[in-house]
Amino acid sequence: MTEEEIIKGCIENNAQYQRLLFDRYAGKLFTVCRRYAQNEEDAKDLLQETFTKIYTHIKQYKKEGSFEGWMRRIAVNTALKFIQKKRIVFTELSEKTHDVYRISESSLSRLKTEELLKLIQSLPPGYRTVFNLNVIEGYSHEEIAALLHIHPASSRSQLSKARLWLQKEIHKLENSLTEYERRKI
């Protein structure tokens, strides 16, 4: 079944095609939702809302750019709205964490994707949002500032702290893993 056929079926409100669309893209879109949400429950709600919007507005897809990209944008916008509704405050946490953690490539590659997702979910909301928008979605700081109604400098600062936070957490994981392996030997 081609993508175009699925889109056409969804425009006609055909349940079979809607299910096909869900089966084909829900996994990727759920990853997007999980990256922005603080917990799994919120992520499920975001995905539900994302698909509802996709089914409702699928007629508006102009075939400019990829369909998956269009759906991803819906997921990201839904997540951002959700965040704004929750009135996330972009806090300046832990000024002390200016330490640099040395993370080796090998230790990074040992991390499973699910663990990475958990790490991202553990980030404070402001850090998480900026990190996702900049690093994964590729938005510039100016664009992020406009989306989140913050100053570009604040976006930069949040991103830098998000990185430090992640590095620190990965470092911790690495240490605990090394300790575990050492004991095992």
Partner 1 sequence: MKEEKFDNFFKSRLSNYESPIPDELWGKIRPNERRKTFLFYKWLAAFTLALFILGGGYWYFLHSGKSKINKTSKVANRKNLTQNDSLHLKKSLQHHTTTIRFQNNSHLSLTQKKLLKEETTIHPATNTFSFLPHKAEMIALPFSSFEIRHITNTNLNELLVQQHSLLLPSVAGKYITKEKTFSQLSENNSNTGKQQQKTKKATPFYIEWYAAPQWLWEETWNYTNQSYNYSLAANEEKRFSLQPRLSFATGIGITKPFSKHWSLKSGVHYSQVNEKYTYSQYPYARTVTSISQRDITVDNQPVIISDTAQYIQIGLEQRSGYNRYHSFHIPLLLSYTTEKDKNFSFAAHAGVMINIYNFYSGETMNKNAEIVPIKSDHYYKHHTGLGIYVGLRAEKKIQENIRLFAEPYWNAGFSNSTTSQTQYNRKLQTGGVAIGIQYKWQKKQATPQKNKVSNSIQ
For partner 1, the binding residues (CB under 8 A) are 13-15, 18-19, 22, 26-28, 30-31, 34-35, 41-42, 44-45, 47-48, 51-52, 55, 85-87, 91-96, 102-105, 108, 113, 116-117, 120, 134-136, 163, 166-167
H-helix segments, 37-151: 40-57, 67-85, 105-109, 113-122, 125-131, 141-148
The answer to whether 6 and 21 are in contact (CB under 8 A) is yes
* HSE-CB for 45 with a 13 A CA cutoff: 11
Question: What values do phi and psi take at 102, rounded to 5?
Answer: -85, 115
Least spacing, CB of residue 176 vs partner 1, in Å: 19
Of 117 and 183, the one with the shorter C-beta distance to partner 1 is 117
Least spacing, CB of residue 155 vs partner 1, in Å: 14
Distance of CA 78 to the CA centre of its chain: 12
Of 117 and 173, the one with the shorter C-beta distance to partner 1 is 117
Least spacing, CB of residue 150 vs partner 1, in Å: 17
Of 47 and 150, the one with the shorter C-beta distance to partner 1 is 47
Distance of CA 147 to the CA centre of its chain: 15
Of 14 and 77, the one with the shorter C-beta distance to partner 1 is 14
Of 20 and 152, the one with the shorter C-beta distance to partner 1 is 20
d(CA 45, CA 62): 26
**3 by DSSP, 3-state: which?**
helix
Q: Which pair of structure tokens corresponds to residue 6?
A: 């699925």
Least spacing, CB of residue 184 vs partner 1, in Å: 26
Least spacing, CB of residue 16 vs partner 1, in Å: 9
